[in-house]
Amino acid sequence: MQNQRTRSRKFLLASIPLTILLTMVMAAASFAQTLYGSIVGNVTDKSGAVVAGATVKITNKGTNQIRETQSNEDGGFSFTAVQTGMWEISVTKQGFKTLTNSNMAVMLNNITRSDMALEVGAVVDTVNVTADQGALQTDRAEVRAELNSQTLQNLPIPPGRNYQQLLRTLPGITPPTNAHSTPTNPSRALQYNVNGTNSSSNNVRIDGASQYNLFLPHVTAYVPALESIETVNVVTNNFDAEQGLAGGAAINVQIKSGTNNMHGSAFEYHDNHLTKARPWNLTPILVNGVMTPQDKPKRVYNQFGATFGGPIKKDKLFYFASFEGTNDRQLGNRFLTLPTAEMRTGNLSGGGLGIYDPATGNVIGQNRTQFAGGIIPDARIDPIAKLILKDLPLPNRTGFANNYYATAAYAFDRKTIDAKVNYNVNEKLTTYGRFSFLNYKQLNPGALGALDGVGTAPQGGNTGVGSGNTYGVTVAGVYTVNTNFIIDGNIGYTKQGTSSEQGFLDKKIGLDVLKIPGTNGTRDFENGWPRFAIAGFANMGVQDSFMPYTRNDPQWVYVTNFNWTKRNHNIRFGFEMARQTLNHLQAEWNGGGTAEPSSGGFLFGQGPTQLCNTANAAGTSCSSFQQGNQFNSFATFLLGFHTGAGRTFLVEPPIIYKSQAYSGYIRDAWQARQNLTISIGTRYEYYPMPQRADRGIERYDIATNTMKVCGTGNVPQDCGVKMSKKLFSPRFGVAWRISDSFVLRTGYGLTFDPISLA
């Protein structure tokens, strides 16, 4: 279980001894994700001899934050938990000229090396180095990549401008694809696989806050606006012991920060149907009795916004804010198959096959009488079927398949805000806080109007209205106890909220209008249309068995890390606690084609109006029917028969699912030689059995063919399932700088799937 996650909790100084004790007793605990970078180097003279006791100072060029240390007896120095950005480093030592490197980039979750060779001379003399740092990864063994803000904003990205689209440019990552309906995934997070692992094994965090969509862990709960992102760090192999909770990739997204200089941007991206080709299947449709050619469906997509950042108090307090709006307006359209006007009167002769009377013959369908000419008499048509059909639109295209071109106005509006405040409290303590917010609303009208049906816009997913808010918060900080001991930590919170409702939920249509016993219920979400699924035709009524739904899924993560530098050893250890909750009002049974909505549903197949050719050996069922088609299934509907019926009943709304995860790590990065870094460490991870709000979850026992409700009666809270407490993950890495332009890196590690029960 590799991952990212690191720091924030520095101000808990009073509890440092207790925290350290807990860290060791708990075998540690952290899915630590790195929120910062590091600077390392060696101080030598021009002959290559080490220079000990030199003063090394780094200065953030954007905020003027200053940190100092001294080179050790081996000439080495290191700065951990360094805010990303451009830094200046200077080295002073009596008898040598001051050496300054004024253009040093510190990147997220990476080590920047700056070896300094001093010249003999007076301290007042300064040697400036302004060359850019090399791109080589010199001191860490992991396989990683960086997508910085310049890359994100300059490379072409499809409408929606999602940074995840650019993951396809990195080795080992499959092209990301859209997943799920808009209400289920309003951020339009993408699904991808890394190095052949499961797409649910990636861990994405924004400034330390995990972004799991626990219900659908192959996508994330929130995707920030592209313009608000400073960098995206992607680790795909040879994970450091600090990183866990990931089997494929550990991805950290960093939101921009303010500096002493005001900066900002404004943008708008526009796309419309005029840039699209005419759809090949856009044939003429019937309008006022005349077959009329169709224009290209309307589509107007706008994404716009602005960013701005700067100082609140120079050198101390900084802000950054980003707003992005997305408006998508379309003529939603799709082709459906509906019964013709002739068929609705009972004339099913166009099917070319026999329509048999289910009220005749025996119970298995033998000796049935065929309706003469394939016509069902009006007196035999069920009154409920007539009531339903009166609101069903007539086909507007010829033929018996895809004979209805449905159109309706589709709308999607989304607004996102990302804001960040950085505070350099004093020389020892720096903090920041991040707030993200998403609000969306979608309208996807049903293709059948008063009968609702499937949503008109296929890409919108669910029929009806979707809306919700997603929140994200991070509070993080770094406390420097002394130049050799640093504490960093973070608290992250993300809550994804969304709902999706089909039309007519204010009426009990099945019970009060159609007078069908057993449909609808006493609760609001059980209202509306039942589903009428006639084989070979578009569904009438509610389209999906899982509608409607409301989801409010919060997750917390608490991380503390400690960094101790002793000569040429950099020892880092820490712990993390994560808590994730599902809070759903959703009646969903994964029963395939037999799953029915909470308002009720009916299936209409061919069997009742077919003739049984052959009975089974016992004569109790039919083993082969005479050939049938969609005309037979529609006849089943007209006659008031059905081949399946049911209703999904949600016993305890809302459905609560709570899971926790605890982990810790310890790692020593040993600079064995000036050009050789060896990292060795281990992680420990523990995943308790998930629970409901006030008891355990449910478990089907195959051995006894019983469903156990954990924590009730004599069933234990964990249902007898023992979660492993031996999940140790050794990690080992080597980085060997053979020359200034050649680095050899290798490593080994074990990881665990963090969502095996999700």
Residue 53 pLDDT level (bands cut at 50, 70, 90): very high
Instruction: Assess whether pLDDT exceeds 50 at residue 14.
Output: no
10 Å Cβ neighbour count for 251? 28
- How far apart are the C-alpha atoms of 277 and 405, rounded to whole Å? 19
Q: What integer pLDDT is reported at residue 590 of this predicted model?
A: 59
Share of the chain above pLDDT 90, in %: 57
Handedness of CA 42, 44, 50, 56 (dihedral sign): negative
Judge whether 246 and 239 are in contact, CB under 8 Å. yes
Q: Residue 235's closest CA among 224, 246, 219, 223?
A: 246
Judge whether 145 and 170 are in contact, CB under 8 Å. yes
- How far apart are the C-alpha atoms of 525 and 276, rounded to whole Å? 39
Quick: pLDDT tens for 404-428: 999 899 999 999 999 999 999 998 9
- How far apart are the C-alpha atoms of 91 and 667, rounded to whole Å? 28
Q: What integer pLDDT is reported at residue 757 of this predicted model?
A: 66
User: DSSP secondary structure string, 292-330?
Assistant: E--PPPPEEEEEEEEEEEEEEETTTEEEEEEEEEEEEEE
- How far apart are the C-alpha atoms of 93 and 397, rounded to whole Å? 87
**Integer CA distances (angstroms), 311 to 181, 319, 422, 719, in order:** 41, 6, 9, 56
Q: What is the mean pLDDT of residues 335-361?
A: 92
Instruction: Assess whether pLDDT exceeds 60 at residue 4.
Output: no
Three-state secondary-structure class, residue 70: strand
Instruction: Assess whether pLDDT exceeds 80 at residue 27.
Output: no
**Which residues, listed in sequence order, are joined to residue 565 by a DSSP beta bridge?**
570
Q: Residue 10's closest CA among 355, 368, 476, 526?
A: 476
Q: What integer pLDDT is reported at residue 230 of this predicted model?
A: 94
Instruction: Assess whether pLDDT exceeds 50 at residue 142.
Output: yes
Instruction: Assess whether pLDDT exceeds 80 at residue 139.
Output: yes
Tell how many helices (H) and how many strands (E) occur in the chain. Answer: 5, 39
10 Å Cβ neighbour count for 245? 32
Quick: pLDDT tens for 57-110: 999 999 999 999 999 988 999 998 899 999 999 999 999 999 999 888 898 888
Which residues are within 8 A (CB) of 24 and not within 5 positions of it... i.e. 6 or more apart?
none
Q: What is the pTM of this model?
A: 0.85
| Residue-averaged pLDDT of the chain | 87
Instruction: Assess whether pLDDT exceeds 70 at residue 7.
Output: no
Q: What is the mean pLDDT of residues 469-481?
A: 94
Instruction: Assess whether pLDDT exceeds 50 at residue 695.
Output: yes
Judge whether 573 and 19 are in contact, CB under 8 Å. no
Q: What integer pLDDT is reported at residue 24 of this predicted model?
A: 31
Q: Cα 315 from chain centroid? A: 36
Share of the chain above pLDDT 70, in %: 94
- How far apart are the C-alpha atoms of 5 and 34, rounded to whole Å? 5
Q: What integer pLDDT is reported at residue 186 of this predicted model?
A: 93
Handedness of CA 257, 204, 746, 149 (dihedral sign): negative
Q: What is the mean pLDDT of residues 107-127?
A: 87
Q: What integer pLDDT is reported at residue 8 of this predicted model?
A: 35
* 565: amino acid identity, one letter: T
Q: Residue 490's closest CA among 474, 514, 467?
A: 474
Q: Would you state the structure tokens that stand for residue 755, as one six-digit string?
A: 């969502």
**Integer CA distances (angstroms), 446 to 25, 226, 298, 405, 506, in order:** 58, 33, 18, 13, 16
Residue 2 pLDDT level (bands cut at 50, 70, 90): very low
Residue 453 pLDDT level (bands cut at 50, 70, 90): very high
Q: Cα 511 from chain centroid? A: 39
Q: What integer pLDDT is reported at residue 133 of this predicted model?
A: 55
